[in-house]
């Protein structure tokens, strides 16, 4: 058995409590490879909606069409809807693009001879009210006097494998649970506490000792070990407990990202088992041939597609 039964606990830390976009939890009983698989699945496979095509009707501003288009693609859009098809798998239009798989956002702005204007994400008007910019105040560009910008932006579901603009997270990572051992009787200077970038330690001036104030804030940087006397403090990472941290860019609720990634991991694993069993059966039925190898042309987000050679 690779790992014991996993236990996942929410981590009540101050910034995660106050910011609904951040999720921090501890996984115990799993190997680091599992946490890394979860991290990579979140980054590469959890689909979100982003602008992927722009029809520029008129642009006499100082910005090139390509610059504006690139900026539009990076605006996080609400993706918490489940009835918009993947364009490549849309059975209504066969992947050509239709209202069942794409959403169009229009932008129309112009200035007169004496005004200038900052165009913001809130100026994008969607034809489906559920797909809107998560933040209204994202600046796209500045228009000078007597300029006009008219465009249609087509948004669709995609994932991080296609382009980073479809990644659902602003940041994601994991680390081992820190353990800090302070040798009894050791004397410390205040510099040890000041060296810590995460405010983990407290200084007791009277006894010239240190205490652990916030263990979970420790990022295992070892600065305190460098500054303290030799062997006075020992910091290690416990590989059986993993602290997992992610921050959504707003396209999806942060809990949904982890749930969706877990479902995709299960689907990929089932897909692999099915393909592997088929390969074993083929090899058993044709003992004089070389063992067949199942090749995944691509690992689909849905469906059970795989091909054999």
Q: Please report whether residue 279 would count as binding ligand SF4 according to CB under 6 A.
A: no
Q: Which residue has the tokens 């939890």?
A: 25
Q: Please report whether residue 245 would count as binding ligand SF4 according to CB under 6 A.
A: no
Residue number, 215 or 293, with CB nearest to ligand SF4:
215
Q: Please report whether residue 218 would count as binding ligand SF4 according to CB under 6 A.
A: yes
Q: Please report the DSSP string for 176-194 in residue order.
A: EEEEEEE-TT----HHHHH
Interatomic CA distance for residues 294 and 309, integer angstroms: 7
In terms of Cα–Cα distance, which of 195, 243, 194 is closest to 217?
243
Which pairing describes strands 7-10 and 169-182: parallel, antiparallel, or unpaired? unpaired
Helices (H), the chain: 14-18, 32-45, 65-73, 190-195, 223-227, 254-285
Residue number, 16 or 72, with CB nearest to ligand SF4:
16
Q: Please report whether residue 220 would count as binding ligand SF4 according to CB under 6 A.
A: yes
Helices (H), 122-253: 190-195, 223-227
Angle among Cα 69, 118, 139 to the nearest 5 degrees reads: 55
Residue number, 150 or 195, with CB nearest to ligand SF4:
195
Q: How far is the CB of 195 from ligand SF4 (least distance, A)?
A: 6
Residue number, 88 or 219, with CB nearest to ligand SF4:
219
Interatomic CA distance for residues 183 and 38, integer angstroms: 37
Out of 3, 92, 222, 293, the residue judged to bind ligand SF4 by CB under 6 A: 222
- DSSP annotation of 11 reads -
Q: Please report whether residue 293 would count as binding ligand SF4 according to CB under 6 A.
A: no
Which pairing describes strands 148-158 and 48-59: parallel, antiparallel, or unpaired? antiparallel
Residue number, 43 or 200, with CB nearest to ligand SF4:
200
Q: Please report whether residue 223 would count as binding ligand SF4 according to CB under 6 A.
A: yes
- The answer to whether 146 and 113 are in contact (CB under 8 A) is yes
Q: Please report whether residue 201 would count as binding ligand SF4 according to CB under 6 A.
A: yes
Residue number, 54 or 201, with CB nearest to ligand SF4:
201
Q: How far is the CB of 192 from ligand SF4 (least distance, A)?
A: 8
Q: Please report whether residue 219 would count as binding ligand SF4 according to CB under 6 A.
A: yes
Q: Please report whether residue 224 would count as binding ligand SF4 according to CB under 6 A.
A: yes
Q: Which segment (32-40, 47-55, 99-107, 219-227) binds ligand SF4 by CB under 6 A?
A: 219-227
CA end-to-end distance (rounded Å), the chain: 31
Interatomic CA distance for residues 296 and 276, integer angstroms: 11
Q: Please report whether residue 200 would count as binding ligand SF4 according to CB under 6 A.
A: yes
Tokens read off for 157 = 């579901």
Q: Please report whether residue 242 would count as binding ligand SF4 according to CB under 6 A.
A: no
- The answer to whether 167 and 160 are in contact (CB under 8 A) is yes
Q: Please report whether residue 152 would count as binding ligand SF4 according to CB under 6 A.
A: no
Q: Please report whether residue 228 would count as binding ligand SF4 according to CB under 6 A.
A: no
Q: Please report whether residue 198 would count as binding ligand SF4 according to CB under 6 A.
A: yes
- The answer to whether 166 and 159 are in contact (CB under 8 A) is yes
Q: How far is the CB of 212 from ligand SF4 (least distance, A)?
A: 8
Residue number, 209 or 219, with CB nearest to ligand SF4:
219
Residues found near ligand SF4 in the complex (CB under 6 A): 195-196, 198, 200-201, 218-224, 235
């Amino acid at each position: 058995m690779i790992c014991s039964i996993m236990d996942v606990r929410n981590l009540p830390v101050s910034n995660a409590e106050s910011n609904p976009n951040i999720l921090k939890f501890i996984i115990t009983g799993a190997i680091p490879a599992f946490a890394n698989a979860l991290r990579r699945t979140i980054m590469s496979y959890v689909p979100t909606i982003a602008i992927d095509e722009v029809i520029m009707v008129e642009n006499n501003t100082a910005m090139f069409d390509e610059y504006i288009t690139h900026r539009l693609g990076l605006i996080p859009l609400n993706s918490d809807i489940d009835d918009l098809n993947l364009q490549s798998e849309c059975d209504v239009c066969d992947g050509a693009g239709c209202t069942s798989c794409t959403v169009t956002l229009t932008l129309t702005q112009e200035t007169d001879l004496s005004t200038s204007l900052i165009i913001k994400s809130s100026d994008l008007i969607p034809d489906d009210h559920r797909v809107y910019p998560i933040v209204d105040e994202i600046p796209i560009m500045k228009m000078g006097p007597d300029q006009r910008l008219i465009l249609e932006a087509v948004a669709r579901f995609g994932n991080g494998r296609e382009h980073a603009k479809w990644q659902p997270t602003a940041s994601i990572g994991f680390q081992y649970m820190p353990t800090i051992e302070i040798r009894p009787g050791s004397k410390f200077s205040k510099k040890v506490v000041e060296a810590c970038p995460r405010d983990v330690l407290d200084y007791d001036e009277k006894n010239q000792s240190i205490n652990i104030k916030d263990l979970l804030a420790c990022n295992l940087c070892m600065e305190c070990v460098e500054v303290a006397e030799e062997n006075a403090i020992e910091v290690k990472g416990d590989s059986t407990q993993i602290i997992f941290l992610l921050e959504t860019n707003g396209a999806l609720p942060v809990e949904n990202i982890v749930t969706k990634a877990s479902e995709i991991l299960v689907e990929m694993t089932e897909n692999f088992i099915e393909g592997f069993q088929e390969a074993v059966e083929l090899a058993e039925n044709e003992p004089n041939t070389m063992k067949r190898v199942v090749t995944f042309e691509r690992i689909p987000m849905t469906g059970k597609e795989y091909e054999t050679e």
